[in-house]
């Protein structure tokens, strides 16, 4: 394993605090800030490129496709996980059973629960696979839980869903960018870009298998969702894109100009290297917590939660260390820009 004493990504990051809070929001690389700033300046000065570039948006789509192992034609772009999940929820037939883990993130759950005509069922995360049955139309869950960092048993869930003909929706917001994702193994995946993918807010990603595409209603179809882009500005779109691009929202250009730069950095560093780095820091933090008498949630995730210790987040913030209080847990989340020294600094403050 590479040394944990140095961050990955070179001089791309310059936090002024000890930032252990990527599960809330990732730090923007320098190149991303420069890309967004350049577009803002071009817009302010009325330059020809100030409206934003669809070519750069296409670069972001292609980079994400490579990171998650699918073809570019399987990736749709949007603004948030909630919008992607809303489209999937509105596409479900009345009476369909949707299975969730208890306590999963609300943007995954709520688009389905507000329908009122779906059968929604909640079970503990560790019983999710065994709870999938022949009547389950869709199982929707996060690969890593936001509240406490627990990872789902992806292999078991995938096998159970396949055995019962159940479609799958995986939210990779808390894992894409540090945990290798094979998006083609799931009917749908969604990921908010502003956490471990290091993108500006306003960039999010949906993957749809070709088999699942026909069952999904493009409820926010718009001028950019046509098979030919520039012939659909007026009147109804003549033909929707034959690819997952039919599910695009109009791009937030500043977000996607930044996303193209951020995703390029992740590709340069490599997700496998990032996974080893992040998990190494998390393991160091867990070991230190146990030495101090605090028992973290048992897992191998880069997200570390300590039940009942959420109230210490304010004291840590006062000491220049940013973590989160989530559902009563003190939640630390490590990424490529963190180092062993930062882990030790947090442990020193917790030790008093």
pLDDT confidence of residue 16 = 94
**Residue range 242-266: average pLDDT?**
98
Residue 138's closest CA among 79, 90, 193, 70?
Answer: 90
Per the prediction, the chain carries an average pLDDT of: 97
Angle made by CA atoms 196, 199, 204, in degrees to the nearest 5 = 90
pLDDT confidence of residue 200 = 98
How far is residue 249's CA from residue 193's CA, in Å, rounded to a whole number?
Answer: 15
Helices (H), 123-167: 128-131, 154-164
Which domains are assigned to the chain? Answer: 10-28+271-351 (3.90.1150.10), 40-268 (3.40.640.10)
With a cut of 80, say whether residue 309 has pLDDT above it: yes
With a cut of 90, say whether residue 316 has pLDDT above it: yes
125-160 pLDDT, tens digit each: 999 999 999 999 999 999 999 999 999 999 999 999
What's the pTM?
A: 0.96
pLDDT confidence of residue 232 = 83
pLDDT band at 231 (very low <50, low <70, confident <90, very high): confident
pLDDT confidence of residue 348 = 97
Burial group, residue 24, by CB count within 10 angstroms (0-12, 13-18, 19+): middle
Which residues, listed in sequence order, are joined to residue 18 by a DSSP beta bridge?
A: 321
Answer yes or no: are the C-beta atoms of 61 and 72 closer than 8 Å: yes
How far is residue 148's CA from residue 125's CA, in Å, rounded to a whole number?
Answer: 12
38-54 pLDDT, tens digit each: 999 999 999 988 899 99
With a cut of 80, say whether residue 288 has pLDDT above it: yes
pLDDT confidence of residue 326 = 94
pLDDT band at 233 (very low <50, low <70, confident <90, very high): confident
Residue 225's closest CA among 245, 208, 206?
Answer: 245
């Amino acid at each position: 394993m590479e040394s944990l004493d140095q961050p990955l990504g070179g001089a791309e990051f310059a936090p002024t605090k000890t930032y252990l809070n990527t599960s809330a929001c990732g730090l923007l690389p320098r190149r991303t800030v420069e890309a967004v700033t350049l577009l803002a300046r071009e817009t302010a000065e009325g330059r020809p490129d100030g409206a934003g570039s669809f070519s750069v948006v296409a670069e972001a789509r292609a980079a994400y496709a490579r990171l998650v192992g699918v073809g570019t034609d399987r990736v749709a772009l949007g603004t948030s996980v909630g919008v992607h999940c809303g489209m999937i929820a509105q596409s479900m037939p009345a009476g369909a059973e949707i299975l969730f883990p208890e306590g999963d993130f609300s943007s995954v759950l709520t688009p389905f629960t507000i329908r009122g005509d779906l059968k929604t069922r909640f079970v503990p995360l560790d019983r999710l696979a065994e709870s999938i049955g022949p009547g389950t139309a869709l199982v929707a869950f996060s690969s890593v839980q936001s509240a406490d960092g627990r990872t789902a048993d992806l292999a078991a869930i995938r096998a159970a869903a396949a055995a019962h003909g159940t479609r799958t929706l995986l939210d990779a917001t808390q894992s894409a960018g540090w945990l290798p994702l094979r998006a083609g193994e799931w009917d749908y995946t969604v990921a908010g870009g502003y956490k471990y993918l290091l993108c500006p807010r306003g960039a999010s990603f949906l993957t749809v298998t070709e088999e699942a595409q026909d069952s999904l209603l493009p409820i926010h179809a718009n001028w950019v969702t046509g098979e030919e882009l520039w012939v659909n500005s007026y009147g109804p779109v003549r033909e929707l894109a034959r690819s997952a691009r039919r599910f695009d929202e109009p791009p937030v250009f500043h977000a996607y100009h930044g996303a193209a730069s951020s995703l390029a950095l992740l590709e340069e560093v490599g997700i496998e290297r990032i996974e080893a780095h992040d998990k190494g820091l998390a393991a160091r933090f867990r070991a230190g917590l146990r030495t101090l008498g605090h028992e973290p949630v048992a897992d191998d995730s880069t997200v570390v939660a300590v039940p009942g210790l959420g109230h210490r987040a304010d004291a840590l913030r006062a000491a220049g260390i940013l973590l989160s209080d989530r559902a009563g847990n003190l939640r630390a989340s490590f990424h490529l820009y963190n180092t062993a020294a930062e882990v030790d600094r947090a442990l020193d403050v917790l030790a008093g």
